[in-house]
Structure 1
């Protein structure tokens, strides 16, 4: 048989092009690393033939590992943007023991069907109008058993709309290598309005809490719970009515968060002592908190804006986030892969210490010419293609002689420690690149010098602001030895 090739309608993404218009809110999140695909920390494209994928639903397996379930996955022939290519698997599972998330998230193994190839966990018919795919939405462990919530998708409609046949829970007793789908609970969706077609799991106080949303991105969030020993028994589930827990039909459930809510992730966070919820709200990934799973939930705070991460979705919290650092798996339609991002939290669950760089990923640049808040000295511009580190755009400088750089003035607090990060890539002949900070219009006081960078490479500079109230972040090259170029993307400046 010929390899299966498809070009999926955006499965959980927003296949939009051009400058982002839906949201102009600043993104406090910092890009930490690429989790999947070419250039990822674990090179998943060569390690397990996971070249393009999305989601990254994560849970602790109870044995010192994180299990991460990804959605529709493609192999060698995939080309950005979006879901396309051969070796289509409706979902795959990777495992991680990495506890040092500050430098990215690595994977140590996968559920495989042959060496070096991540397997499809749950078969799907791959027939549009019947069952086009089966998507994982949540995972949780109880003892040595792993549970995976999934939805059977009948048809992908316009971006943000899709039809499901049902949702269900599978289980695995061999750490995710094989999954049993029969005999567990199932929530059928004949009328398209069932409350629990996508899920988020939290195990706490003897129960597994299941937060649910309908198919698509237009519904509210609902809540159920089940004794942890009875996850596979549907009659054991109780639904929160707004005032009490009731057994029976899930139509008893009342909204705990108003629409629109999609791609939910929920956890109890030890640092804040609160329940945290992240989800896609319109065009942004947002964060809310509550003292109890039933709420009331705080107002939404933007974690990542569509304007800085066009085509974003998902935003699944890493269970081992600790202290003030909250890490999330963020999907982007371009290049249809998953990135680890970070925000920091105050003790009350609100977002602290945001990224101070405006337009950090150059996605708000409407043309090929560098515009505010960025400036260019010498010859440079904005690339609009599929070779950026994230999404659609990156900045560049290029010439055959002299100094060329991209820079931005940022307000800082005097006598404060800061960390600057950015993603850089150069021509093979680059011999004199610089990345750092300087006084506005003045000389650098903290910088790194680098030569050729073969691929997108993270660079970090730490410094104290001294008596300065503003600084310039910059990246540039001297090009006195022939034609050279430097690309830059995803800058971040945060207090250390």
Structure 2
């Protein structure tokens, strides 16, 4: 997981250590991968357009003028190599802007806060001295009028997995759409190490800005405060929820609205459900809870993305323009050290519906280089365990110099129902006859696309009606009769259309 930060600008890859939790969840992940938001191969090629080759988080908010502002955490430039945070051109945070309202095909960015053409700037300086201030990380953003507010934490030291210490949290503001930021706003010091508001989530509603907070690290509960929207920079104006009333400080009066462990919160009021939504990292999974009011009561947690399918996951920040039943989130993963747009579908009551029906969709549950259930291989294939997967640590592959080779999985479906199958593929340069689609189990395909050479990871999609079938076989494969060829597969999804 993204549990250890890098305390120097340039590190050797062999010096990186990243450890998962003691007991990782095996929960199925209903989320599907929509696109890559940052880094090489991202929708907006952030590595070449703004020198954002590797980054994390992706805290998003509506700037009030038709744009989404997205603040990312520790960011690295051209020399970054997976896994994890490393490389030159270290910026503690960067900001990208988006006007993209069609999230079904990914999220694009149109501009960045820059200090030179083609280079995203560091928004708030940090000392980058371990034991003093190693970095300054954005945790929440909100707009009031034309002013943008950014909550951040000053990190003193990254410790054991899931544990870090902060000096304080504070709020900066910008009056030029995030290009320049003024610090010195309200501050929550962490001298005793247990302040409730070191990481934040903002929601503006009904004349207030609600601020949800958690302590430093990933083991604390969630707390709540609010402030009149015109007084965000006045700490004396904040009122803390005690469980029965809003009270002025000290912030120690606040009582938990969600029990520990809670970290990397994202909260919004969702118009489609008419409920408040909260996503956060709970142990090793990103979960969703809902409530009728900002104070709760909050529903039980439902897994959005689980560790078993997205190893190294963290974050899970909701896109403010998620509309209708589709809820989009920015999800970070450690090995590719970049951010992905994922999606779940909601019922009117805020519960998750229409999950991804493919089991082990990203091949991350495979424990060896040999393909195992629920996947099967025809011909020659296996599991790559390296740093070139589309997401996380693993992907499937087939390779040979003659004949048909594929990976496939049988998936139960509902008869007479429309479905969409998607998956991410890339091939050797000489591939001339690949296929991706759906077939009768053990039989011929009935919906497929044919492809040639695919250079970078590319999303393929097939739509079909199940007809009288109660199961289908999803597959991707290549004919290799013209020399040595290979195909790599990752992040399959099958959902109702």
TM-score, normalised via structure 1 length: 0.97
- Residue 156 of structure 2: aligned partner: 154
Does residue 143 of the first structure (1) align with residue 148 of the second (2)? no
Task: Choose which of 16, 19, 32 in structure 2 pairs with 1:16.
Answer: 19
1:6 is displaced (CA, Å) by 4.0
Matches of 1:426 and 1:159, distance apart in 2: 36
Matches of 1:479 and 1:402, distance apart in 2: 5
- Residue 408 of structure 2: aligned partner: 407
Matches of 1:15 and 1:492, distance apart in 2: 28
Matches of 1:469 and 1:352, distance apart in 2: 19
Contact 1:382 1:396 in 2 (8 A): yes
Matches of 1:264 and 1:347, distance apart in 2: 22
Residues 45 and 306 from structure 1, CA distance in 2 versus in 1: closer, same or farther, beyond 3 angstroms? same
Matches within 5 A, 1:133-212: 133-182=135-184, 184-212=185-213
Residues 60 and 7 from structure 1, CA distance in 2 versus in 1: closer, same or farther, beyond 3 angstroms? farther
- Residue 273 of structure 2: aligned partner: 272
- Residue 85 of structure 1: aligned partner: 87
Deviations 1:159-216 (A, max 9, x none): 100000000000000000000002x100000111000000000000000000000000
Deviations 1:53-92 (A, max 9, x none): 0000000000000000000000000000000000000000
Q: Secondary structure at the match of 1:88?
A: coil
- Residue 371 of structure 1: aligned partner: 372
Matches within 5 A, 1:226-375: 226-375=227-376
- Residue 5 of structure 2: aligned partner: none
- Residue 5 of structure 1: aligned partner: 10
Contact 1:328 1:342 in 2 (8 A): yes
- Residue 439 of structure 2: aligned partner: 438
Does residue 111 of the first structure (1) align with residue 130 of the second (2)? no
1:17 is displaced (CA, Å) by 7.0
Count residues with an aligned counterpart.
490
Q: Secondary structure at the match of 1:85?
A: coil
Q: Secondary structure at the match of 1:218?
A: coil
Contact 1:10 1:159 in 2 (8 A): no
1:15 is displaced (CA, Å) by 2.3
Q: Secondary structure at the match of 1:33?
A: strand
Residues 168 and 355 from structure 1, CA distance in 2 versus in 1: closer, same or farther, beyond 3 angstroms? same
Residues 262 and 79 from structure 1, CA distance in 2 versus in 1: closer, same or farther, beyond 3 angstroms? same
Matches of 1:483 and 1:421, distance apart in 2: 26
Contact 1:67 1:95 in 2 (8 A): yes
Residues 138 and 312 from structure 1, CA distance in 2 versus in 1: closer, same or farther, beyond 3 angstroms? same
Contact 1:10 1:83 in 2 (8 A): no
Matches of 2:233 and 2:86, distance apart in 1: 34
Matches of 1:439 and 1:465, distance apart in 2: 10
The runs of 5 or more residues in structure 2 that have no matched partner are 1-7
Does residue 221 of the first structure (1) align with residue 222 of the second (2)? yes
Q: Secondary structure at the match of 2:236?
A: helix
Contact 2:261 2:282 in 1 (8 A): yes
Contact 1:9 1:157 in 2 (8 A): no
Matches of 1:294 and 1:96, distance apart in 2: 31
Residues 7 and 54 from structure 1, CA distance in 2 versus in 1: closer, same or farther, beyond 3 angstroms? farther
